[in-house]
Structure 1
Amino acid sequence: MRNHFFLAAALALMAIIALGMAGQEVGLGPVIMLFFVLLALGLGRSEQWRRLAFTAWIVAAVAASLFYPAPFRELWGFDLKKLIIPLLMIIMFGMGTAMSVRDFLGVVRMPKGVFVGLLCQFTIMPAVGFGLTKVFAFPPEIAAGLILVGCSPSGLASNVMSFIARANLALSLTLTAIATLLAPIFTPLLMSLLAGQLVPVNAWAMMLDILRIVILPVVAGLAFNHFFYERFPWLARTMPRVSMVGIAVIIAIITAAGRDSLLTIGLTLILATAVHNAAGYFFGYWGSRLFGLDRQSCRTIALEVGLQNSGLASGLALEMGKVATMGLAPAVFGPLMNVTGSSLASWWRGKVGDS
């Protein structure tokens, strides 16, 4: 069945090329959506490429919201942007259920690795994001969104990729946990410093938003995992799927809201986010090497730095009333980092012997 989906996707791709060459833009949207849906179904049934299925579903959702933005902006008179924060809080709750108190105790067991990882996390990506806004002539709010991605902490994606790469998973879990707890302090502070001249930044309001959107749901999920996990074992299987659907919906809503801006600067923004993402991997790895960490820990920190919590960045952009502009960089960064992160993790997995 897997080969049938790939074959159907190949036929859809040929149809896309034919329609494009013929200038038939009207029928292009449904065929592009069909291509990515078929590709996602095929990838989902492939042991080797299953990790990329989620990204294909994301791209299908993005294509749908670009070609048909109206249903993703408002449904039966309801503004769908109002769903972003509740969905993000559900995702953060799911993140909390995947954590335990032991993750925070890693500071005691691996103090050097945790210090280096946090230092890289809150210096490299903000600095690179700020630098890219000087290289690319983005409008101020879109540039601020790129910086916002860099100022956000890492998320669960880095833990998954560290597991795939056979890196230091304990260090990855600890870094994600501590960086998330530090986000209410460092994210508003860095945004005020680096993006304050681009958009108005209320550091106090942003800190409260992070506490409400991230910290409270994560703590609730952590408590649920600690006290009720044995009574609800199905939750561990369900929450990842719920989170993936939530992320897809959030990205589709943001894409529809910022469709006009994205069509204008889309390719340039993709290039900038790709450089941002790659720089996180590169400087995260070699920065850790300069501190004398082993290769396994360096790979972990590279993934922690390169893979950001783009969902949080999207939520903060919404709270600032600029999701259609500041929210675009997080919406592009999320799917992109899943492709690059899984590719890098798989490559490192094959080189685990030299750690």
Structure 2
Amino acid sequence: MNSPLVSVGLPLALAVIMFGLGLSLTVADFTRIAKTPRIVAIALICQVLLLPAIAFGLVLLFGLSPILAVGMMLLAASPGGTTANLYSHLFRGDVALNVSLTAVNSVIAVITVPVVTNFAIGYFEPDDGAGSLGLQLGKVVQVFAIVLVPVAIGMLVRHLWPAFADRMDRPVRIGSALVLLLVIVGTVVAERDTLGSSLADVGAIAVAFCLFSLTIGYFVPRLLGAAERQSIACSMEIGIHNSTIAITIAISVLDSTEMAIPAAVYGVLMFPLAAIFGWLITRRRVRSAPVTVE
């Protein structure tokens, strides 16, 4: 799909989103991981290794078509989304840990996204232009540019003009959401004849993957000794993906609208599912808290 709405609007929306992320970050968000290296390592292992493995198993179990299978793996490789910070705050997670994980994940994604996507393309061999579909060096540079460059610019703006960065945080978030919504609606309208069956194909696997992500993100750190607040933060970070990155790479870099469908569906479903999951673990924590008698 080569309409200006997608070819220009989608990378622009992601650039604004990542610029907004940069406005909220400082160097301290990266160095803070030294205070809790074990928790950060656990979360990153879940994010970088476990999630792609689980997505791969689900893709085989659900029997997705090759192009949707690659899209699902692309989603699994995408980093956590900035909305994870909000959800972590709502359910009393360690928001500082979320910010650090988002920052580190966004950097690591420049490596993990091409590696996982190229593996999926090689394994599933989609016939949608498979000869030129992989993320070769030139396309990896594109991924680097659309993911990290806007973040770096946002961090520089925050460093030079912190008051301006604080004022712009909310407008940038709202603006990026509106641009992204416009692009997604335009894409759906333009491709409405071919999207219906694919949406039905990925709905169930998107729900399953989201629930697995949230559950692993909470219970694995918890079982390995993380505090409750840290486990909630990890759960939201791992369960709430930056699906915009996956959508942009699928459409703008790999030129496949169908490959973007898993990320688009996940991007809608993850918010209510994360809210329900957060409510359940919060309710569980309240019920298990000891009752004191005065």
**Structure 2 partner of 1:162:** 88
Normalising by structure 2, we get a TM-score of: 0.87
Deviations 1:270-328 (A, max 9, x none): 11111111110112222223322122212211111111110000111023443321011
Which of residues 34, 48, 53 in structure 2 aligns to 1:122? 48
Task: Indicate whether 1:149 and 2:75 are aligned.
Answer: yes
Any idea what SS the aligned residue of 2:259 has? coil
Judged with a 3 Å threshold, the aligned counterparts in structure 2 of structure 1 residues 208 and 257 are, in CA distance, closer, same or farther, namely: farther
**Structure 2 partner of 1:89:** 15
* 1:167-206 alignment, distance < 5 Å: 167-198=93-124, 199=126, 200-206=133-139
Work out whether residues 214 and 277 of structure 2, in 8 Å CA contact, stay in contact via their aligned partners in 1: no
- The runs of at least 4 aligned residues of structure 1 exceeding 6 Å deviation read none
**Cα distance in 1 for residues equivalent to 2:115 and 2:40:** 21
Any stretches of 5+ residues in structure 2 without a counterpart?
127-132, 290-294
Question: Aligned partner of 2:151: which letter?
Answer: V
Work out whether residues 147 and 195 of structure 1, in 8 Å CA contact, stay in contact via their aligned partners in 2: no
Normalising by structure 1, we get a TM-score of: 0.73
Question: Aligned partner of 2:149: which letter?
Answer: L
Any stretches of 5+ residues in structure 1 without a counterpart?
1-72
Work out whether residues 91 and 246 of structure 1, in 8 Å CA contact, stay in contact via their aligned partners in 2: no
Question: Aligned partner of 2:201: which letter?
Answer: T
**Structure 1 partner of 2:143:** 210
Judged with a 3 Å threshold, the aligned counterparts in structure 2 of structure 1 residues 226 and 146 are, in CA distance, closer, same or farther, namely: same
**Structure 1 partner of 2:292:** none
**Cα distance in 2 for residues equivalent to 1:96 and 1:131:** 34
Judged with a 3 Å threshold, the aligned counterparts in structure 2 of structure 1 residues 297 and 233 are, in CA distance, closer, same or farther, namely: closer
**Structure 2 partner of 1:229:** 162
Deviation at 1:236, TM superposition (A): 2.0
**Cα distance in 2 for residues equivalent to 1:233 and 1:293:** 31
Deviation at 1:255, TM superposition (A): 2.4
Deviation at 1:194, TM superposition (A): 3.2
Work out whether residues 88 and 213 of structure 1, in 8 Å CA contact, stay in contact via their aligned partners in 2: yes
Task: Indicate whether 1:305 and 2:245 are aligned.
Answer: no
**Structure 2 partner of 1:40:** none
Deviating more after overlay: 340-349 vs 92-101:
340-349
Work out whether residues 6 and 252 of structure 2, in 8 Å CA contact, stay in contact via their aligned partners in 1: no
Work out whether residues 198 and 261 of structure 2, in 8 Å CA contact, stay in contact via their aligned partners in 1: no
Any idea what SS the aligned residue of 1:272 has? helix
Any idea what SS the aligned residue of 1:123 has? helix
% same residue:
25
**Structure 2 partner of 1:245:** 178
Judged with a 3 Å threshold, the aligned counterparts in structure 2 of structure 1 residues 86 and 347 are, in CA distance, closer, same or farther, namely: same
The higher relative CO (CA closer than 8 Å, separation ≥ 6) is in 2
**Cα distance in 2 for residues equivalent to 1:302 and 1:119:** 13
**Cα distance in 2 for residues equivalent to 1:286 and 1:79:** 44
Between the two proteins, the alignment pairs up a number of residues equal to: 280
Deviating more after overlay: 187-196 vs 115-124:
187-196
Any idea what SS the aligned residue of 1:196 has? helix
* 1:1-355 alignment, distance < 5 Å: 79-82=4-7, 83-198=9-124, 199=126, 200-231=133-164, 233-350=166-283
Work out whether residues 153 and 176 of structure 1, in 8 Å CA contact, stay in contact via their aligned partners in 2: yes
Work out whether residues 167 and 296 of structure 1, in 8 Å CA contact, stay in contact via their aligned partners in 2: yes
Deviations 1:194-249 (A, max 9, x none): 33233432242342122111100011111111211214643122112112212312
**Cα distance in 1 for residues equivalent to 2:39 and 2:165:** 34
Any idea what SS the aligned residue of 2:214 has? helix
Judged with a 3 Å threshold, the aligned counterparts in structure 2 of structure 1 residues 257 and 148 are, in CA distance, closer, same or farther, namely: farther
Judged with a 3 Å threshold, the aligned counterparts in structure 2 of structure 1 residues 191 and 345 are, in CA distance, closer, same or farther, namely: same
Any idea what SS the aligned residue of 1:300 has? helix
* Root mean square deviation of aligned Cα: 2.1
**Cα distance in 2 for residues equivalent to 1:170 and 1:216:** 23
